Structure 1
């Protein structure tokens, strides 16, 4: 059963298929969803909050909680595919005042990928993603590759971009993830 909050987010996504985020008013979202305005403001502060909720859920639907190191490129590629399949929706966000929400969505997906791999590397690592210096550089670099690809019109083959920009082995990834744990939890993680 779909909640009113989900219905509002779905309506925003539908409206974003044909117009810029800046052109959409809360009034249009509630009319499209069949939910009243008061309910919108019960769930969201404004349309930016609704967009953030939408992207938050899209990221969690796209990226599983646990990822094998051997699967990371496929999961990263799934973010490219999401932007390709949802091109109109994403483009209408990207050319608007909601741009940072799209960029945050991409980074959130990458963080979820790193979290998922970290969980597979060590049970103790669940809280460690993204805080190691090298790991942050990796995450922001991967985000930049996707955002540049999107801004440039999705012209290049994402698989070739991934192979060129992020060509490291599973062993190198595991070392990076374990080193991040050591930086974050030097007193709590054994073997660092």
Structure 2
């Protein structure tokens, strides 16, 4: 029941964001569209930004599914791009609002989870300190999210498959080489 209510509130906010700037959407707008009362909204979320954060946290994570291995990371990253593209109006609305931080936070979190799994998998038989692995993870996290944010900033006009192909061509084998350079002697 609770998850269904949260999902209904999320769908209402997403629907409203297709036509209205985030800053102009009120809780009354959301609950009216959703058919619940304000108390129900506040039972689940502190404010609209908490709802927005919940949307990104759950939907971006779900979009990646289990594609977080060395063999599947490109598919996981592509699914993030597809999710963002399918929710283009909401994403652009968020990006161009005070809520941008919520979008960025969850992109960093999702990409971190993707990259940390890949790095851990590659480094399994290597002698690389946790600190150095974390540095490699953060380097790629910032690079990948930078690509995503630039793509969003330019209204997502580039083809997501082409972004993945370009990224794969550029970094093919680079994570492994970076970890090799970090190996302890």
Count of residues paired in the alignment? 177
Question: Which residue does the alignment assign to 1:168?
Answer: 171
Q: Distance in 2 between matches of 1:130 and 1:10?
A: 41
Question: Which residue does the alignment assign to 1:152?
Answer: 154
Q: Distance in 1 between matches of 2:161 and 2:6?
A: 35
Runs of 4+ in 1 over 4 A off after TM superposition: 118-122, 128-131, 174-180
Q: Distance in 1 between matches of 2:28 and 2:88?
A: 24
Question: Which residue does the alignment assign to 1:91?
Answer: 92
Q: Distance in 1 between matches of 2:163 and 2:22?
A: 29
Shift, 1:77, TM fit? 1.5
8 Å Cα contact 1:67-1:120 kept in structure 2: no
Question: Residues 85-124 of structure 1, C-alpha deviation per residue, up to 9 Å, x if partnerless?
Answer: 21111111111111111222322221232244356555xx
Distance 1:49 1:164, change over 3 A: same
8 Å Cα contact 2:63-2:79 kept in structure 1: yes
Question: Which residue does the alignment assign to 1:63?
Answer: 64
Q: Distance in 1 between matches of 2:161 and 2:8?
A: 34
- C-alpha RMSD of the superposition: 2.9
Question: Residues 112-153 of structure 1, C-alpha deviation per residue, up to 9 Å, x if partnerless?
Answer: 32244356555xxxxx79971121111011001011011112
8 Å Cα contact 2:60-2:83 kept in structure 1: no
Question: Which residue does the alignment assign to 1:185?
Answer: none
Question: Which residue does the alignment assign to 1:4?
Answer: 5
Unaligned 5+ runs, structure 1: 123-127, 183-190
Unaligned 5+ runs, structure 2: 125-129
8 Å Cα contact 2:151-2:158 kept in structure 1: yes
Distance 1:178 1:7, change over 3 A: farther
8 Å Cα contact 2:119-2:133 kept in structure 1: no
- TM-score, normalization: structure 1? 0.77
- TM-score, normalization: structure 2? 0.80
Question: Which residue does the alignment assign to 1:125?
Answer: none
Q: Does 1:112 align with 2:105?
A: no
